[in-house]
A and B are shown apart, each in its own frame.
Chain A
Amino acid sequence: MTSIPKGPMLKFLTEDAGGKRLLIALAVLTVAVPFFNLAVPESSAFHVSTYTVALLGKYLCYGLLALAVDLIWGYCGILSLGHGAFFALGGYAMGMYLMRQIGDRGVYGNPLLPDFMVFLNWTELPWYWYGFDSFLFAMVMVALVPGLLAFLFGYLAFRSRVTGVYLSIITQALTYALMLAFFQNDMGFGGNNGLTDFKDILGFSLQEDSTKVALFAASGVVLILSYILCRYIVASKYGRILVAVRDAESRTRFMGYRVEHYKLFVFMLSAVLAGIAGALYVPQVGIINPGEFAPLYSIEIIIWVAVGGRGFLYGAVIGALVVNYAKTYFTAAFPEIWLFMLGGLFVLTTLFLPRGIVGLASDIKEKMLAKKVQKQADVKDEPVDTLPKASTEV
C-alpha cells in the first residue's frame, strides 16, 4: 500500500475521497464476485449465482454510461438526452462481431451471412459488415463509430452555438432518428429483432459461467480505468475550463478559450465511453435491438445521474447502480408502478435533493462535523469542576 507514490502525479485521485471509496469498492467487487461464483460451491450460502453475476455486470455497464453522461452534463453543462444512441452504436458494433462468430452454426447454416440476412434472401454480406469477423477491428469500431458521430454532431451544434434546451432536443431527435433507421430491415442490422443468438466471444462460449464471470470482471476493470481517466480530466486545467464553460460560457470565450473545441473534445470522449459501455453490455445480456435507441432510455440515464448526484463522477456511478437495482426489484415485484416511481424519483430529487444522494451525504457529514466542533467548543467553555469525569481522561 505504501509503495504508491503520493506525489502530485496522483493528487487527482487522492483528493477525491468519494471516488477513492468507490474505486476500492469496485475493485473488491471485481475480485470477490468471480471468487464467490467460481470458487465457492453452489450449495454454500456464500455462493453468488451466475444470474447475479450477469446482473451486476449489466449494472457496471450502466455505471460507465452514467459516468460518460456526468462528464459532459455535470462538468460542462451539456445535457445530452441522446446518449443512449452512442451506447447502442457501441453495442451494435460488438453485436456484429458476435454475429460473425456464429459462422455456420445459425439456423440456416450459412457460413457467411447471419440468419436474418438469409431470411431476407440476401446473397452477399453488405460492405459495412466487412471486417467485423475480427475482434480487433470490431473493438476499434466500438470507439470509432460513436466518436465519429459525436464529432459530426458536436462540430455542427457547437459551432452554431446551439446550447441549453435546444441542444437537448436535437440530441433526443438524433437517437429517435437512429431508432427509426435501425428498425428498417433493409438497413442490414436485423430490423426490430436486432442482433441475437450469439454463440461465443474470442472462442469462449457465452453460455459458460466462466465467460460470464470474465465479462463481469472486464466491465469492472473498464469502469475503474474509465473513472480514473475522467477524474484525471476533471482535475486538470481542462476540467476547470469545462466548469467555466458551464458557469459562464461567454466569460470563457473572452478569456481566449475556443469553447466549441472544449465542448467537442469532451463530447466525443463521452460518446466513446458510452460506446464501450454498450459493447460490454451486449454479450452479457445476449441481445441488441433498436429499442436501445428509445428516447426514454436516454432520459433514464439523466435520472440515474441526477439521483446519484451530478458533477461528482462517483455520484453518477452510484446513481446508476442504485436506480437500476431498484428497477430490477420493482419491475419484478410491482411492474405496473415502476415508471411512476421513476418519474416520482426524478421529481423528488430535483425538488429536495438537487445534489443527489452523494450531495446529501456530504451535507450531512459537514453538519455533523460542524456540530462536533461546536460541542468541543462548548466543552472547553465550561468550568472544569462541573465535569467530574474530566480528571480520569488522559
Chain B
Amino acid sequence: MNIVTQHIEPTEKDILYVSGVSVSFDGFKALNSLSLIVKEGEMRAIIGPNGAGKTTMMDVITGKVKPDTGDVLFKGSIDLTHHDEADIANLGIGRKFQKPTVIESLTVFENLELALAGPKGVFNSLFHRLSGLQRDTIHKTLETIALTEKVNELAGALSHGQKQWLEIGMLMIQEPDLLLVDEPAAGMTDHETEVTAELLKSITGQHSVVVVEHDMDFIKALESPVTVLHEGSVLAEGSLDAVQNNEKVIEVYLGR
C-alpha cells in the first residue's frame, strides 16, 4: 500500500482514489496535483472550462497517459499507473471518448459484439461463436439505446447522437464497475440529452459513473454531486447549487 501523506487513506469503498496527480506536456501542467475520490455506486459530474484537464484526468485513469507524480487507485488497492489500457479495461473501467468513437465500418451489432464482456485473447477470438445468451444481451442493449432498427447498419452511417448512444451502449455491455463518460450529450437534441441523463442515472448504483459535461441542463438532470476542475486541479466540490454559487467558480466562468 502506498503511503499517502496529504490526503485521507483510500478504502475499499472508494472505487476511484486519485491523489496528488500531476501531468505536464512540454512543461505545461495539464493536471496540477489533482485529487478526487469517487465512492462505489456513486455518480459524479465533472465540469470545468475548456482545457481544465477533464479529458486528461480520464487519460490518466485509463492508462493512456502516465502521471508524473501522484497515485491512482482502483477499488482501494489496485495501482492503475502500473497497468496499460487493455489491462485497465479488463479490470473493470470503461470509457466513452469525448469525440464519439465507434468502429465505423462495422455494423451496430458487431460494435456491441466486440465490446461485450468476456475473454479478449487472440485465440479465443479466432474460434469465437456468440451464445444465445450473448445475443440476448446485445439485443437488450440495442433496445436500451434505441438502435434496434439500425442493428445491421454500419456504425459510420449513424447520426452523431446515435453514435453517442452506440458508444454508451458499448460501454454498458462491457459491464465495467466504473464508467468514465466524456461529454455524452454533445451534439444531441434536448430530448436526446434528457434520455441520456435518465439512462446514466438508471445504471448508477450498480455501477459507479463519472460524467464530464459542459451542458448545465444535463448536469442538473443528473442530480449528482459536482466537482469543478480548473487549471488541472479541483476548484470546488458539492451540489450543483452550491458550486454555482461559489465565488471562485463564478469568477472562473465569467473571467473567460
Contact = CB atoms under 8 A, between A and B. Distances in A.
Same complex for A and B? Answer yes
Interface of A: 233, 236-238, 240-241, 243-244, 247-248, 250-259, 261-262, 265
A254 B85 contact: yes
Most chain A beta-carbon contacts within 10 A, residue among B101, B114, B127? B114
B64 A255 contact: no
B86 interface: yes
Nearest to A265: B122
A247 B103 contact: yes
A237 B174 contact: no
Interface residues on B, range: 20 to 34
Given A244-B103, A250-B101, A256-B174, A236 B89 contact: no
Nearest to B101: A251
Interface of A (DSSP majority class): helix
B174 A255 contact: yes
B133 interface: no
Given A236-B127, A254-B94, A259-B86, A244 B122 contact: no
A237 B170 contact: no
A262 B128 CA distance: 15
A14 to B, nearest CB: 17
Given A233-B126, A250-B101, A256-B89, A244 B174 contact: no
A241 B122 CA distance: 9
Contacts of B5: none
A250 B85 CA distance: 9
Interface stretch (B49-57, B104-112, B199-207, B212-220): B104-112
Interface string B57-68: 000001010000
A73 to B, nearest CB: 14
Interface of B: 62, 64, 84-86, 89-90, 94-95, 97, 101-106, 110, 113-115, 120-122, 125-128, 170, 174
Contacts of B113: 237, 240
Given A251-B102, A255-B89, A261-B121, 4 more contacts: A236-B127, A238-B128, A243-B105, A258-B86
A254 B96 CA distance: 9
A255 B170 contact: yes
Contacts, number: 76
Contacts of B174: 255-256
Given A236-B128, A250-B64, A262-B122, A255 B102 contact: no
Given A251-B101, A258-B120, A259-B86, A237 B62 contact: no
A254 B89 contact: yes
A240 B107 CA distance: 10
A251 B103 contact: yes
A248 B104 CA distance: 9
Contacts of B84: 253
Contact of B104 (A247, A252, A255, A261): A247
Nearest to B174: A255
Contacts of B170: 255
Contacts of A257: 86, 114, 120
A244 B64 contact: no
A257 B105 CA distance: 18
A237 B95 CA distance: 22
5 contacts: A247-B104, A251-B103, A252-B114, A258-B86, A261-B122
B86 A243 contact: no
Nearest to A311: B105
Contacts of A238: 122, 125-126, 128
The 10 A-B residue pairs whose C-beta atoms are closest, nearest first, are: A256-B89, A253-B85, A238-B125, A237-B128, A237-B125, A256-B120, A258-B86, A256-B90, A244-B103, A251-B101
Contacts of A258: 86, 120-121
Contact of A240 (B85, B86, B110, B120): B110
Nearest to A264: B122
Of residues B94, B103, B110, B121, which shows the largest number of chain A Cβ atoms within 10 Å of its Cβ?
B103
B114 A254 contact: no
B103 A254 contact: no
